[in-house]
């Protein structure tokens, strides 16, 4: 009896990109961080009113006061794991497009 051949998931994934030269890798990483900060800033400005109301509510409540600590704790945990985080990654434009279309679709409904 022949058993069915099982393909490993590695066949379905695209091969990793070739390593970049040291200086170029740093500039790619800086560009990705700059774009990430820009998008994060745009999102924060887009939701400034709800975020401000959340901050006011959390500051006035003993029950929800921990909400104000979440960004700082998140940044601390990222700082602790900074050595094991991937340096640069290729953007998943197709996946991002699917989520964008799904979000726009929910706005239309």
> Which tens digit of pLDDT belongs to each residue from 4-33?
555 544 455 666 656 655 666 677 778 888
For residues 20 and 88, what is the distance between their CA atoms, to the nearest angstrom? 10
Complete DSSP assignment for the chain: -PPPPPPPGGGTSPPPPPPPPHHHHHHHHHHHHHHHHHHHHHHHHHTHHHHHHHHHHHHH-SSSGGGGGHHHHHHHHHHHTTTTS-S-----HHHHHHHHHHHHHHHH-
pLDDT category at 85 given cuts 50, 70, 90 is confident
Q: What are the boundaries of each domain within the chain?
A: 24-83
DSSP state of 17: P
State the pLDDT at residue 106: 93
pTM score over 0.85: no
Report the alpha-carbon distance of residue 45 to residue 85 in Å, rounded: 27
């Amino acid at each position: 009896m022949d058993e069915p051949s099982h393909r490993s998931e590695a066949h379905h994934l695209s091969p990793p990109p070739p390593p970049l030269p040291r200086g170029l890798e740093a500039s790619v990483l800086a560009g990705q961080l700059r774009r990430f900060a820009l998008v994060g800033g745009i999102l924060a400005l887009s939701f400034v009113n709800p975020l401000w109301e959340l901050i006011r509510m959390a500051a006035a409540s003993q029950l929800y006061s921990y909400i104000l600590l979440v960004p700082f704790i998140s940044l601390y945990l990222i700082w602790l794991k900074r050595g094991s985080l991937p340096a640069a990654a290729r953007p998943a434009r197709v996946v991002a497009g699917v989520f964008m279309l799904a979000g726009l679709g929910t706005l239309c409904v």
